[in-house]
Amino acid sequence: MAVLTPRSTDFPRWYQDVLDKAELADNGPVRGTMVIRPYGYALWERMQADVDTRIKAAGAVNAYFPLFIPESYLRREAEHVEGFSPELAVVTHGGGKELAEPVVVRPTSETVIGEYMAKWTQSYRDLPLLLNQWANVVRWELRPRLFLRTSEFLWQEGHTAHADAADAAAYARRIALEVYREFMTSVLALPVFVGAKTRKERFAGAINTMTCEGMMGDGKALQMATSHELGQNFARAFDIDFLGPDGGRHLAWTTSWGSSTRMIGGLIMAHGDDNGLRVPPALAPTQVVVLPVRDDDAVVTKAREITDALTALGVRARLDARPGLSFGRRVTDAELKGIPVRVEVGPRDLAAGNVTLARRDTAEKFPVPLGEAAGRVPVLLEEVQASLYAQALALRDERTSDVTSLAEAVEAAATGFARLPWHLVGEDGEARLAEDSLTVRCLQTPDGALPTADTRDEDLVCLVARAY
Amino acid sequence: MAVLTPRSTDFPRWYQDVLDKAELADNGPVRGTMVIRPYGYALWERMQADVDTRIKAAGAVNAYFPLFIPESYLRREAEHVEGFSPELAVVTHGGGKELAEPVVVRPTSETVIGEYMAKWTQSYRDLPLLLNQWANVVRWELRPRLFLRTSEFLWQEGHTAHADAADAAAYARRIALEVYREFMTSVLALPVFVGAKTRKERFAGAINTMTCEGMMGDGKALQMATSHELGQNFARAFDIDFLGPDGGRHLAWTTSWGSSTRMIGGLIMAHGDDNGLRVPPALAPTQVVVLPVRDDDAVVTKAREITDALTALGVRARLDARPGLSFGRRVTDAELKGIPVRVEVGPRDLAAGNVTLARRDTAEKFPVPLGEAAGRVPVLLEEVQASLYAQALALRDERTSDVTSLAEAVEAAATGFARLPWHLVGEDGEARLAEDSLTVRCLQTPDGALPTADTRDEDLVCLVARAY
């Protein structure tokens, strides 16, 4: 009996099975909330560490702003409050008393951070102000799905203030391309379409939203991260102004950008197969699991030596010699958890001076001389990383169709992405697509680049798809 | 004019001044909440990274549990709900509707984690279950003070389940001594008294609470971290039971333990002086700041070379050549922020082939030959680390008095800690101490060790103090 529902039978059921069997997450007791189990959290910790390094390299510093926001703050930016009101969780009682003003649990922190940016920004010398925070946020969800859409999720949210529009635009773009796209491509092994959202799909209060859209194993799109130019909307609402070199006071230009535990859902759905997760080595908390085939002292000792040799080479290796669990069960567990490479150590192999290396991405297995085993792994891990990216890219290419009419787009988007000139769609077309539960995922230049302010509307192409 | 209120004039005011001028934290818009500014957060990130490594070395793994807990969960453990009810924040509305059951914002997570421990614990092979989470928690505060007592704070909370009482006790003790005390001693450079809380001062629902008590610059105590044996109280309330090797079902024994952003308050108050923070080098985000005395190309170039040389040696060094800020202002800023060592690079010194090294802990300054400057720093940093610990220990020794009656304890605790046999105090004595706003901070063996289950009551000594 298969451990998981096959993907082709029922993709959502397969996803749920992976979450359970790979011990990634569980439903929380309050509807829509989530328990991130240790293995799921280990994936998040690795994502966090890598994204955090990239954010710091882009010059931003971490800070922390309160969970609770006065309701009145949200009302200061009209589009923002309209966008978030239906999703708010509201605290009405604190310390045993009803509060004079209810407070909302942050759905995102533009408003409260705006208030402090205003305080900290006096002169142009204080700009750009580049902040980031790692936090939990709450958006009440009626149809929750673990990692993809939960009432509470973990994320980083960057918030920056700049002296002029061009600097703000360049920074938001840099985050989308150099932080998010680079991370997804080189660590998650996930090709993403980076483009601009249509006016209809923009963040509530933004003048431009850039997005990284990944293709999942079922051909649907997942918005993996977004970066917003907020123009002067929040600066106006929160009085973020500064003394310019000209001696006059000017309103700042702000941006915000975020990536979340949703990326774990993307990782599962983009790379997973019928045997479980497949984690790219650059991300994997455990890159190699060493499995003694039998609970035999000589075999376990040899397996431990290999684990130590791998660790010494800088490989994240772990010995799995759990007593009471058969070799087969331990292999299944390593497959479910998507550990990129297994080293299997058996008495028969050992007698021939060999161990077996097994790749999770291709299911290939091959014997190697014991003395060479550890040394072969680093290159093998690079191959697995490249192969997972290549497989995801091949799927995306295969399932992305260039079409020339809205009707063709609807048809192609039933199984993947449809690409067509934006002027064939437009806002009327978006309404038409919505009837089939399709959306324009993003707008790009014809050669697949992120548009700039100079890109003309008639030169844009759009990607249409079903989406999570 | 002094930048800060002197400590001897008004310690609380000095503390608030340090928070402002060193740009550590600010009040949030909702009463009792806190904004942790980038420098304050950088201190927290360093604490987190170090404590996290120690927790993992003790075998625990990180996970994440929901912010929202059904109200009914808290009621399952009688003492627990009684202890936390007055401090709860309650969400009554979500997604635009009134909730059928209000949910509380976690004040701590024993209850929700207990629910999942019960699910994950089937057999004795699943034990010990060693979990930790980094999270925000909310306890409504009527008299907030930044970092020390805020309605929302950041912390790690460990939660473990064990097959027997001895294993649980040993683990809770190991966390108190090997994780918390070691971190405070070797990284924060803070000597702490590790002892047991009296019955009156225990965590709500615990059968034993161990605590690390530090002495602040004004002689008051700060509880820096706690580790609790919860007996079978939560296991009973949440059905955390397991199949034993004997084939029978047994109730588990649980522990919990936490350390928080409160440690930043402790760091400020234990090491700070009238010029600002003094951060121990092992913690400092910036260990060395290199300051060109003048905005002169040759000087700045030399300063940059020294910064690079320090970085190459693994020192966390930063060049501060901010234009428009005088040398004096930059020195003051480095002092306020408590940067352990300054390298001051001036044209006169350079002409003599020297630069000046300045220690923050002692205010000593001395010239060193340019070519030796970087190389001298690592040893100097170790000296500063040891000196801060020695100074804190000297203060604590000086202000800790052995006394032989409750009346003497009240007198000694007006300016520091009083130590006396616990049988001279007892529960009646605790009530008497409370009239003078004094508490028993912890119980120890006469030689200053953490008591064990075998320590007899008549052998205990107690430490009495004012406390934050």
**Contact across the interface for A90 and B87, Cβ inside 8 Å:** no
Structure-model confidence comparison of residues A16 and A2, the more confident one: A16
Who among B37, B90, B141 is closest to A91 (CB)?
A: B90
* Touching A: B residues 296-315, CB under 8 Å: none
Q: What token pair was written down for B361?
A: 């802990």
pLDDT tens digits, A215-242: 999 999 999 999 999 999 999 999 999 9
Protein fold of A288-396: Rossmann fold (3.40.50)
Q: How far is A306 from chain B (nearest CA, A)?
A: 22
CA distance A180 to A48: 12
Taking alpha carbons only, the member of A189, A194, A165, A210 closest to residue A383 is: A189
CA distance A376 to A359: 12
pLDDT value at residue B42: 98
pLDDT value at residue B322: 93
Mean pLDDT confidence for A390-402: 98
Mean pLDDT confidence for A344-363: 95
Chain B residues within an 8 Å CB radius of A69:
29-30
Taking alpha carbons only, the member of A460, A456, A466 closest to residue A418 is: A466
ipTM exceeds 0.90, yes or no: yes
Tell me the residue ranges of DSSP E strands in A218-315.
221-229, 241-243, 249-251, 253-260, 288-292
- The sign of the dihedral angle between the CA atoms of A189, A195, A198, A199 is positive
Distances (CA, A) of B228 to B170, B176, B206, B408: 11, 9, 6, 31
Say how many CA atoms lie within 13 Å of B282 toward its Cβ: 20
pLDDT tens digits, A276-325: 999 999 999 999 999 999 989 999 999 999 999 999 999 999 999 998 89
Residue B17 has pLDDT above 80, yes or no: yes
Q: Where in chain A is the domain with CATH 3.30.110?
A: 399-465
Q: What is the pLDDT of chain B when averaged over all its residues?
A: 96
Chain A residues within an 8 Å CB radius of B93:
88-90, 92, 102
A383 touches chain B (CB under 8 A): no
pLDDT value at residue B313: 98
Mean pLDDT confidence for A5-23: 97
- H/E run at residue A437: none
**Contact across the interface for A35 and B88, Cβ inside 8 Å:** no
Cis status, amide bond into B107, omega within 30 of 0: no
Q: Strand B241-243 and strand B249-251: pairing?
A: antiparallel
pLDDT value at residue B77: 86
pLDDT value at residue A2: 72
When pLDDT is cut at 50, 70 and 90, the band that residue B307 belongs to is: very high
The single-letter DSSP state of residue B162 is E
When pLDDT is cut at 50, 70 and 90, the band that residue A122 belongs to is: very high
pLDDT value at residue B323: 85
Maximum alpha-carbon separation in chain B: 82
Chain B residues within an 8 Å CB radius of A103:
30
pLDDT tens digits, A240-269: 999 999 999 999 999 999 999 999 999 999
Give the lowest-confidence range in A115-119, A272-276, A411-415, B81-85: B81-85
Q: Where in chain A is the domain with CATH 3.30.930.10?
A: 11-271
Residue A81 has pLDDT above 90, yes or no: no
Does the domain at A11-271 match CATH 3.40.50.170? Answer given as no
In chain B the first and final C-alpha atoms are separated, in Å, by 29
CA distance B39 to A414: 50
Architecture of domain A399-465 in this structure: 2-Layer Sandwich (3.30)
- Long-range pairs, B301-309, Cβ under 8 A, ≥24: B302/B345, B302/B350, B302/B355, B302/B370, B303/B343, B303/B345, B306/B343, B306/B345, B306/B355, B306/B370, B306/B373, B306/B374, B309/B373, B309/B374
Who among B30, B69, B141 is closest to A68 (CB)?
A: B30
CA distance B242 to B167: 15
Q: Among A72, A73, A91, pick the best mutation site for testing chain B contact (most B Cβ within 10 A).
A: A91
pLDDT value at residue B301: 96
pLDDT value at residue A78: 84
Q: Where in chain B is the domain with CATH 3.40.50.800?
A: 288-382
Q: Among A34, A45, A68, A126, pick the best mutation site for testing chain B contact (most B Cβ within 10 A).
A: A68
Helix (H, G, I), strand (E, B) or coil at B266: helix
pLDDT value at residue B1: 53
Distances (CA, A) of A162 to A117, A121, A128, A168: 11, 10, 5, 6
CA B61 from chain centre, in angstroms, equals 20
Mean pLDDT confidence for A53-58: 98
When pLDDT is cut at 50, 70 and 90, the band that residue A79 belongs to is: confident
CB A233 within 8 A of CB A209: no
pLDDT tens digits, B330-385: 999 999 999 999 999 999 999 999 999 999 999 999 999 999 999 999 999 999 99
pLDDT value at residue A256: 98
Q: What token pair was written down for A199?
A: 């006016």
Residue A223 main-chain phi, psi, to 5 deg: -75, 115
CB A391 within 8 A of CB A361: yes
pLDDT value at residue B78: 84
Residue A1 has pLDDT above 70, yes or no: no
pLDDT value at residue A77: 86
Tell me the residue ranges of DSSP E strands in A261-416.
288-292, 317-319, 341-345, 354-359, 365-369, 400-402
pLDDT value at residue A313: 97
Helix (H, G, I), strand (E, B) or coil at B129: strand
pLDDT value at residue B232: 97
CA A47 from chain centre, in angstroms, equals 8
Taking alpha carbons only, the member of A348, A346, A368, A342 closest to residue A299 is: A346
Q: What token pair was written down for B190?
A: 């803070």
CATH number of B288-382: 3.40.50.800
Q: Where in chain A is the domain with CATH 3.40.50.800?
A: 288-396
